[in-house]
Amino acid sequence: MRSFAFAVAYWAMSIFYALVTAFMALIPGRGPMGFALRLYTQRMVWAMRWIAGIRIEVKGKERLPDGAFIIGAKHHSWGDGFVMFANVPNLVFVTGDHLERIPLLRGILRKFGAIVVDNCGGPEARRALSEKAAAASADGRRILIYPEGNLAKPGERFRYRTGIFYMYRDFGMPVVPVATNLGVFWTQQEFKKTPGVATVEFLEPIQPGLDRGEFLRLLEDRVETRTQELIAQATGRPVTPSVLVPAPDEIARAQAKAAASSPPL
């Protein structure tokens, strides 16, 4: 019953605030639209608590640096983004270009300054990420990116991609790792919601100056280690390392490569 009630509230608020935000996008400047988006995410966090029964405990906000920085977060569910925007002001996010296929969202994303990149990746996507992130950095905005590029189930991880490193290196901004166990209560895009106390924790920032290998190892270790600890706290099970699984695009490439190398019948 809670899951159904939350689904109704989710879509009702999403449609309402999408229309409000689209209207706000007609007003010069990002301020009015940013206000509407922040109000929307705060209302969604409220609905998660009072309708779905998922209370969000946010830890480590005192670790957030002043000025511009990058957030490298674990991505368990659609709820992650709501928590980030409800708690971090002046935030812009990196997303795949699939959202631009939704007509109403396309204009909102562009006006808001979202960093939209090609889901297929490659050099062009990296170049677009760098150019759009440079504009956000020059504006002094905080940048949210999910380094795995996919929604992970609790206990699983995808390969950490290099886009976050190039932003970290090129703009000299600290990266704040974020761990969470929200997926225990709201997994990926699933309809079912499980009541309980979910934790989202900002971890010690990674300061500029590391090379690619060292940076990615440190980021992954901090995020995955603390995430697994939080999952253990929520479930009462022992702490175990997360399991590396192939991402959907990696599976698709492997299948295409196998098909291309197969002899004709």
181-212: per-residue pLDDT in tens? 999 999 988 889 999 999 999 999 999 999 99
* CB-based contact 197:88 (threshold 8 Å): no
- Domain with residue 174: its CATH number is 3.40.1130.10
Would the pTM of this model clear 0.75, i.e. be above it?
A: yes
Which of the residue ranges 66-80, 120-134, 166-180, 194-208 would you say has the lowest mean pLDDT? Answer: 120-134
Q: What's the distance, CA 45 to chain centroid?
A: 15
| Residue 75 CB contacts under 8 Å (≥ 6 apart), including other chains | 146, 148, 150, 151, 152
Q: Is 228 or 253 the better-scoring residue by pLDDT? A: 228
Which of the residue ranges 23-27, 92-96, 154-158, 164-168 would you say has the lowest mean pLDDT? Answer: 92-96
Q: How many domains does the chain have?
A: 1
92-130: per-residue pLDDT in tens? 877 765 555 555 566 666 656 666 665 555 566 666 666
- Is 40 a member of any domain? no
What average pLDDT is seen over the chain? 85
- Is 243 a member of any domain? yes
145-155: per-residue pLDDT in tens? 999 988 999 99
Domain that holds residue 141: 55-247
Would you state the torsion angle of the CA atoms of residues 208, 228, 246, 128, taken in this order, to the nearest 10 degrees? -30
Which of the residue ranges 22-26, 82-86, 93-97 would you say has the lowest mean pLDDT? Answer: 93-97
- Is 235 a member of any domain? yes
Can you spell out the DSSP letters for 57-83?
EEE-GGGPPSS--EEEE---BTHHHHH
- Is 6 a member of any domain? no
Q: Helix/strand/coil (H, E, C) string of 103-118?
A: HHHHHHHHHHCCEEEC
User: Phi and psi (nearest 5°) for 95?
Assistant: -140, 160
